[in-house]
Amino acid sequence: MNSWKNARFSIAHIEKKPAKKTPAPPFTTSTLQQEASRKLGFSVSKTMTLAQRLYEAGHITYMRTDSVNLSDFALDAAKKMVEKNYGISYAKTRKYNTKSKSAQEAHEAIRPAYFDKQTIDAGRDEERLYQLIWKRTVASQMADAKLERTIFDIKNNIDNKILNAKGEVLIFDGFLKLYQVSKEDESEENQSVLPRVKPNQTLETIIIQASEKFSKAAGRFTEATLVRRLEELGIGRPSTYAKTIKTIEDRGYVVKKSMDGKQRDIIKLSLENARLSRSIVVENYGAEKKKLFPSDVGMVVSRFLSDNFKLIMDYGFTANIEKDLDKIATGDKVWSSIIKAFYEPFHKQVEITEKESKRVSGDRNLGNHPESGKPVIARIGRYGPMVQIGEGGGEEKPQFAKLMPDQSINTITLEEALELFKLPKTLGEYESEEVIVSQGRFGPYIRHKNKFYSLPKDQDLMAISLEEACKIIEEKRKTAAENTIKVFDKEEILVLKGRYGPYLKKGKRNYRIPKSVDPESITLEQCLDIVEKAPEKKPRYQRKKKS
């Protein structure tokens, strides 16, 4: 930039091109899931739940569809609504065609049942989703937005190097008057607005700036982008996306979370009034908002399936199965032959895997314990990610410690692992009893007087003080007291208020109180009768007996 200190700049070339933006088609199931995630912050499962309520209430058409078609009635109603609200120049009837060859067009696109209802009387989230559907549908029947895209070539008189500026001017807003397209739907970056200039016009140099830039890593999936990717790969149907995503989240294969970004210094050069200056500014990068992160369990399971079941882990497998199912529906293939072609080799592979494969735990050796010299290993245990000291075997019993929620077996260091073995940690005494913090199967907790008080999953157990722990104990006690209806101390029976109504608790087991019994006046005899008549609790998982 030193060579530009006394340079003069002028417009070398101007190129203007007319352009337009066309409205997006009405919603299908997958595009509704994506747009509701981007614009409203809804999860895929929440969107489908709300859409189901809107459909049942008669506000929208059927919400499980991969068609973008609208009926003649809908086209006419939308046109009248546009002309009434914005004028004839804004109306343009459009008939969209579904691009997917496997689309099942038994229904219309998702649209309002009545176009004259711009709002509905419902819950706030239902209202917001309805508004999104109404605007998208009506906007799909509006005129294009007209633009003028402009490119300036700017040269200097010192070395004739060309600088380039791109921008656009909105000539006619069209559908943009009602509906702004989400950023992830944009095919191009947002264009800046440029001033009007003429060829060979000399530009007044106010300030020239140059900033250091770093390449960005590929973005992680959100629920919306994962739906889009599933659709691109032909995996599943729109009606299955919500269930698929909910399953991998509920089973702990992925975790939806936000992460704070990091900071780094970047160099910035400025040329102003023929003076060149250099400065260091701080840039935030790497922040993630509601992104899907693979868990340790998810990565180990994925690795195991990829190693042993390459066929079903191939992206094309599910898409090809979908095509076969379509052919079965049209009578072009026999279902039994499809099942046989899949099941026989799959069953054989399952038998081979059962015999030859070993239990996968994702073991990662972190180093040796500085005192005992025993290996420190990060791995997946029965209750999730953990670290252990010693390999076990013989009379040796390894020591175990559960990982914190923000830790991973793939990234944890030896020093971080050794810190975990400082738990359980005694903070001091309260009411003449020790206050202990630790990490358990269900997360971090405080133990005091043989009672357990859960802590937030992101709680730093090494930093929590005795005073903070005591405050939490008192708050939990207060909440418990407010939810307690009756206490029978001798029999250790509590009558409590619950999320789904009153219930009684004896020991570690809860019992439902019949509606015919008033929890406020329930007697000890009634409580014992409920406990005695309660069906025996079955184990969560029952192993099949071998014949």
pLDDT at 275: 83
- Domain regions of the chain by residue span: 2-21+146-212+252-290, 29-143, 295-356, 364-420, 483-539
Asked whether the predicted pLDDT for residue 346 surpasses 80, the reply is: yes
Higher pLDDT, 204 or 514: 514
Would you say residue 545 has pLDDT above 80?
no
Q: Residue 186 — very low, low, confident or very high, per pLDDT cuts 50/70/90? A: very low
Predicted confidence at residue 2, as pLDDT, reads: 60
Query: Measuring CA to CA, which residue among 169, 170, 166 is closest to residue 145?
Result: 170
Distance separating alpha carbons of residues 271 and 206, to the nearest angstrom = 9
For residues 13 and 442, which has the higher predicted lDDT (pLDDT)?
Answer: 13
pTM for the structure as a whole: 0.70
Whether the Cβ atoms of residue 92 and residue 144 lie closer than 8 Å to each other: yes
Phi and psi at residue 4, to the nearest 5°: -95, 5
Q: Give dist(CA 319, CA 325) in Å, integer.
A: 10
pLDDT at 129: 96
Q: What is the mean pLDDT of the chain?
A: 86
Predicted pLDDT at 127? 95
Q: Mean of the pLDDT values across residues 349-376?
A: 88
pLDDT tens for residues 367-390?
A: 999 988 889 999 988 878 889 998
Q: What confidence score (pLDDT) does residue 268 get?
A: 92
If phi > 0 it is left, if psi is from -120 to 50 it is alpha, else beta; for residue 496 that is beta
The CA-based dihedral angle spanning residues 78, 79, 81, 86, taken in that order and rounded to the nearest 10 degrees: 130
Which pLDDT belongs to residue 132?
Answer: 96
pLDDT at 434: 93
What pLDDT, on a 0 to 100 scale, did the predictor assign at position 85? 93
Check if CATH label 3.40.630.10 holds for domain 295-356. Answer: no
User: The tokens of 106 are what?
Assistant: 């038994």
How far is the C-alpha of 273 from the C-alpha of 212, rounded, in Å?
Answer: 22
Q: How far apart, in whole angstroms, are the C-alpha atoms of residue 246 and residue 43?
A: 9
Residue 184 above 60 pLDDT?
no
What is the reported pLDDT for 185? Answer: 42
Arithmetic mean of pLDDT, 193-222: 83
Confidence of residue 542 (pLDDT cuts 50, 70, 90): very low
pLDDT in tens, 269-286: 888 877 888 999 998 888
Please state, in angstroms and rounded to a whole number, the distance separating the CA atoms of residues 292 and 261: 16
| pLDDT tens digit sequence for 407-428 | 889 889 999 999 888 888 899 9
pLDDT in tens, 314-332: 888 887 887 888 889 888 9
Q: What is the pLDDT of residues 470-505, one digit of tens each?
A: 999 999 888 888 889 999 988 889 999 988 889 999
Identical fold for domains 29-143 and 295-356, yes or no, is: no
Among 191-205, 301-315, 374-388, 451-465, name the one with the lowest average pLDDT. Answer: 191-205
Q: Which of 105-114, 136-145, 324-333 has the highest mean pLDDT?
A: 136-145
Residue 104 has pLDDT above 60, yes or no: no
- Burial (Cβ within 10 Å: 0-12, 13-18, ≥19) of residue 354: exposed
DSSP 234-285: T-S-HHHHHHHHHHHHHTTSEEEEEE--EEEEEEEEEEETTEEEEEEEEEEE
CATH for 29-143 is 1.10.290.10
443 φψ region: left (φ > 0), alpha (ψ -120 to 50), beta (else): left
Q: Is the pLDDT of residue 105 over 70?
A: no
Class of the CATH domain delimited by 2-21+146-212+252-290: mainly beta
The vertex-360 CA angle with 356 and 363, nearest 5°, equals 130
Percent of the chain with pLDDT over 70: 92
Please write the tens of the pLDDT for every residue from 240-259. Answer: 888 899 999 988 899 988 88
478: left (phi over 0), alpha (psi -120 to 50) or beta: alpha
> Per residue in 504-513, pLDDT tens?
998 878 999 9
Rounded to 10 degrees, the C-alpha dihedral 462/465/469/475 comes to: -120
Lowest mean pLDDT among 66-80, 280-294, 530-544: 530-544
Position 448 scores a pLDDT of: 92
User: Which one of 62, 96, 430, 511 is the catalytic residue?
Assistant: 62
Give mean pLDDT, residues 448-469.
87
Region of 418 on the Ramachandran plot (φ > 0 left; ψ -120 to 50 alpha; else beta): alpha
Instruction: Give catalytic status of residue 86 as yes or no.
Output: no
